[in-house]
Structure 1
Amino acid sequence: MADLSHSSDDNSTDSREETSQESKLDFSEDEEALITRMFNLVGERWSLIAGRIPGRTAEEIEKYWTTRYSTSE
């Protein structure tokens, strides 16, 4: 029975990790404005843009940009 309660704890940890990853893609209005301005200046140079936003990676910014501004035609 101890094994069952342990595996239950593992599931709750996994769901917390997913929530943490999802919240990382929530950008503030200031961050969004900065990303837009930087994109207009340097294009898809995500690492340069990420260098201006503390705590953000190039991958996070690229994912944000493509999900928000992707053009599917």
Structure 2
Amino acid sequence: MADSDQSTTLNEKSAGSQEDKSQDSELHFSEDEEILIIRMFNLVGKRWSLIAGRIPGRTAKEIEEYWNTRSATSP
């Protein structure tokens, strides 16, 4: 019984840490990615899926969140 309790707790902890990692990594973009996002935005505007299609491993939602965060912190 104790073993199953421990495995449940470990699974819950690992699931929580995976969620934290995915949330943290969403807004961490390389300099190349940032430059590409800015260039693409200037060309196509807020067509996030089109921009995300040019950056492997990124979703339209990630791009949009990055852009909104970036523009919210700009003067």
- Unmatched segments (≥5 aa) in structure 1: none
Which deviates the most, 6-15 or 31-40?
6-15
Q: How many residues align?
A: 71
Look up the SS of the partner of 1:39 in the other structure. Answer: helix
Aligned to 2:14: 13
- Aligned-partner Cα distance in 1 for 2:57–2:15: 22
Q: Deviation at 1:70?
A: 2.7
Q: Percent identity of the aligned residues?
A: 56
Give the AA of the match of 2:52: A
Q: What is the root-mean-square deviation in Å for CA atoms of aligned residues?
A: 1.7
Which structure 1 residue ranges, 4+ long, deviate > 4 Å from structure 2?
none
Q: Tell me the TM-score normalized by structure 2.
A: 0.79
Aligned to 1:50: 52
- Aligned-partner Cα distance in 2 for 1:19–1:7: 18
- Unmatched segments (≥5 aa) in structure 2: none
Residues 1-73 of structure 1 aligned to structure 2 (within 5 Å): 1-21=2-22, 22-70=24-72
Look up the SS of the partner of 1:63 in the other structure. Answer: helix
Deviations 1:2-34 (A, max 9, x none): 232122212321233123312233100000011
Look up the SS of the partner of 1:47 in the other structure. Answer: helix
